[in-house]
Amino acid sequence: MRLSAPSETQLHVETGCCGVKPENEYFIETGQESAAALREEGEKWLAKGYGKPHPHSLQVMTLHFQMRRWTGYPAGAPWYDDWTSGYLDPIQQVLDETCNGIPRGSERFSGNYMHYFTVFNTDLAQEAVEKIAAAAPVKFLLDIHIANREKQVHIPIDPNVPEYLRSLFRVVEKSARTIAHELPVLFTSDPLQPEFVPNGSAPRRIIGDQAKFLRQTLKEKWHFDSNFWDPLTEVSPSEVVFLNGMAEDKKQVVAGIIRERVREPLYLLDCEAGLFEISTDQVFGGAHEGMVFDSSFEWVIYFSHHYTITFSGEWLVKAVKELYAEHPELLNAW
C-alpha cells in the first residue's frame, strides 16, 4: 500500500500488488497539514500490521547508461532529449503508477550515467524497464542491475597520476561509498518519515523540433547554449542585474509582474533536467542551473549554481531595479 499527500488537505491511499497498477484507491479529506495527516494515518496502518521496510531489506535497481562523452551540463548534449523522453521519463512514470519504485539519486562521470531506484517487486520492475527500452525510438546502451546495493563503477583516473596517489584515491573512493551505504544502519530511522515521490502533475517536457528551435533561439539571441552562462561579460547581449539570493516576498512580486506581461508559453531550460513548459508559479521553483523565458525571448531569468539570480531584458531589469530602489546595494553585489 502507498499513502501519499497530493495536497495539503487530502490524502491518497492506494492498495494492491507492487509492480501493477493499484487495485483499490481512495481519498481522505484531512483538514490538517499534510505531514501531520500522513503521520496520523500511517499510525493506523502500522496498528494493522503494515510497516515501512528498512532500506537495507529492499533491493536497489541501477540503470547504467553508457553515453557518448559530454563535458557540459547534460541538457546541452545532442542526445539528451531522446534519452530522457525515450527512457527516463517513461521509466519514472511506470514505477510511480505501479507503486514499485522510489528514486534514490544518480551520478555521472566519464560517460557513465547511473540512476538508482529502491524497488519492491524486482521482476516486474526489470520487465517494465526492458519493455520501455525495447520500445524507445532511439537506442542507448543500458545495463539493468538489481542487488542489495547500488552498482558501482570505478571513477577513471588519469594514467599520468602516480601509482601511490591512484591507490590512495581508490581507498578514499571505497571508504566514501561504504560510509554512504552504512549510514541508514548507524542512525535509527523513523518508520513514519515520508519519502518524496515525484508523482502528480509534472511540467510538460519539450522535445523534438520544438526543443531544437527553443535552444537555437536562446543561443542566437542570448548566447546561452544550455550550459553555464556568464552574463557579466560580453556574453550577455544587454544589461543585467543579479542578486545573491532573493527573499520570498520579492520573488512573488516578480512572478506577479511576469504573470501580467508573459507571452505564453513560459519555459524553463534546466541544465540538468532539460526543457519544460511551466507556469508563473514555477518561475522560482529551484533550478540549480538554468534559464526561464517565454515565447517572446525578450527577457530571461538565469539561475546559477552559485545561487545567484540574474535578470535581463529591458522591462524586467527596470522592474527589478524599482523593486530594490530602497536597497540598491543588494544589486550586482558579491
Q: Which residue, among 101, 104, 82, 81, has the nearest Cα to 91 in the 3D structure?
A: 101
Considering only 84-88, 146-150, 169-173, 241-245, which range has the smallest mean pLDDT?
169-173
Task: Show the beta-strand stretches assigned E in 245-298.
Answer: 266-270, 274-278, 290-294
Q: Where in the chain is the domain with CATH 3.30.70.1710?
A: 55-149+159-186
Average pLDDT, the chain: 87
Cβ(280)–Cβ(258) below 8 Å:
yes
Q: What is the pLDDT of residue 236?
A: 81
Evaluate if residue 291 carries a pLDDT over 70: yes
Considering only 32-36, 84-88, 124-128, 215-219, which range has the smallest mean pLDDT?
32-36
Q: What is the pLDDT of residue 201?
A: 56
Q: What is the pLDDT of residue 33?
A: 86
The rounded percent of the chain whose pLDDT value lies above 90 is 48
Considering only 137-141, 194-198, 250-254, which range has the smallest mean pLDDT?
194-198
Regarding the domain with residue range 55-149+159-186, which homologous superfamily does it belong to in the CATH classification?
BMC (bacterial microcompartment) domain (3.30.70.1710)
Going by their DSSP bridges, the two strands 141-147 and 59-66 should be labelled as antiparallel
Considering only 2-11, 41-50, 164-173, 308-317, which range has the smallest mean pLDDT?
164-173
Tens digit of each residue's pLDDT (9 = 90 or more) over 177-189: 666 666 555 555 6
Q: What is the pTM (predicted TM-score) of this model?
A: 0.79
Tens digit of each residue's pLDDT (9 = 90 or more) over 136-148: 999 999 999 999 8
Tens digit of each residue's pLDDT (9 = 90 or more) over 48-89: 888 877 767 889 999 999 998 888 888 889 899 999 999 999
- Residues 6 or more apart in contact with residue 275 via CB below 8 angstroms: 75, 81, 205, 206, 207, 211, 214, 215, 267, 268, 269
Distance CA 306, CA 288 (A): 9
Q: What is the pLDDT of residue 118?
A: 92
Considering only 59-68, 129-138, 236-245, 249-258, which range has the smallest mean pLDDT?
236-245
Cβ(295)–Cβ(235) below 8 Å:
no
Alpha-helix runs per DSSP H in 187-313: 208-222, 248-261
